[in-house]
Chain A
């Protein structure tokens, strides 16, 4: 089983602060996705990264895929209360393009 470890598990910050959350594995993934999940909702896809070293920006969110395709990070600049939620990373093992392996998530709370 290819595991994805996310850290930190919980993060509580003030509005306006910057933060980074991490997603690490000892295994190589052909691609990796980040989702945000709010209470009572399903996860919503934020981004897919495919190439080692790839960096993608989505407004105040910056996603990076490690060169070796074993890890990824999500950086949020000037966090806002609307960023509050559970951030999940999910990887696609080599040889599959549908069977996602999910991390346990980082629960982010941004206080006004």
Chain B
């Protein structure tokens, strides 16, 4: 079946503008994650959604970052008043809720460049 898809694949924006990134998870996957990958760095956890539970927002770096998910479908990550340090690849992943670990399937990412 179809994998995780993300759009846009690339986004160039001016400092101070808002951006919205979209993630379509694998159908039937109840869990959805957002990560940020800066050049030369590992993946940095941002936020986790699981069904109708309250999301784990502990990784969001500032209040300029927010994310929403409707049910078990599409999620959007919004960055307000973008800064140059927000430039990175933003990756989305989804998983089934299976023990002992939720194995995550990643999308191709959105490369964000803030000029």
Interface residues of A (CB under 8 A from B): 4, 30-31, 33, 35, 40-45, 48, 50, 88, 90, 92, 97-105
Contacts and interface: CB of A to CB of B under 8 A. Distances in A.
Contacts of A40: 108-109
Nearest to B41: A104
B25 to A, nearest CB: 12
B18 interface: no
Contacts, number: 61
A42 B101 contact: no
B40 A98 contact: no
Interface stretch (B70-78, B80-88, B91-99): B91-99
B65 interface: no
Contacts of A42: 4, 91, 93, 106-109
- In the A-B complex, the 3 residue pairs with the smallest Cβ-Cβ separation, listed nearest first, are A42-B106, A102-B42, A102-B43
Interface of B: 4, 31, 33, 35, 40-45, 48, 50, 56, 91, 93, 95, 99-109
Contact of B101 (A43, A97, A105): A97
Contacts of B100: 30-31, 50, 97
Contacts of A98: 31, 33, 48, 50, 95, 101-102
Contacts of A88: 42-43
A92 B41 CA distance: 18
Nearest to B99: A97
A83 B42 CA distance: 19
B35 to A, nearest CB: 8
B99 A103 contact: no
A76 B100 CA distance: 26
B46 to A, nearest CB: 11
Contacts of B44: 102
B43 to A, nearest CB: 4
B26 to A, nearest CB: 12
